[in-house]
Amino acid sequence: MILLDDIIDNRYITNLIAFHSQQAVEKTLKAYLEAKGDKVPKIYKIQTLIDRVDLDFSQDDELIQLLDTLYIESRYPGNMGLLPYGKPTLEDAKEFYEFAEGVFHRVCEVLKIDKSEVGKL
């Protein structure tokens, strides 16, 4: 079994960590909308989803913009997880992961969901 500790410091897969962090944020925000009884839109842009939830992530605007660039580029497998300036640094990947983890924990807290019921991010 591969653990996060085994991959989070791996500079060779920062693009994968970044891409899956974007996916985790997107899916968490969509789950939040569904839990609130809102229609889940068929969109993938993190900023658009954040604009639809009643949670404030304004302090993370720059990070959200970077995450949004990951999905667009990921439609081309050779470019999966690349940022406009290329492969994410190890620091980028860790920051994306920590943001995704924070969104997940915050949504669980607001919805009063035991994180262990959903699994670990």
Instruction: Report the pLDDT value the prediction gives residue 115, as an integer from 0 to 100.
Output: 78
* Helix (H), strand (E), coil (C) string for 55-120: CCCHHHHHHHHHHHHHHHHCCCHHHCCCECCECCCHHHHHHHHHHHHHHHHHHHHHCCCCHHHHCC
Does the structural domain 4-118 have CATH classification 1.20.120? yes
**Averaged pLDDT, 43-51:** 94
Share of the chain above pLDDT 70, in %: 85
**pTM, whole model, 2 decimals?**
0.83
Instruction: Report the pLDDT value the prediction gives residue 58, as an integer from 0 to 100.
Output: 92
Domain boundaries of the chain, sorted by first residue: 4-118
Checking if the pLDDT of 119 tops 50, the result is yes
Instruction: Name residues whose C-beta falls within 8 Å of residue 64's C-beta, 6 or more positions apart in sequence.
Output: 46, 47, 50, 57
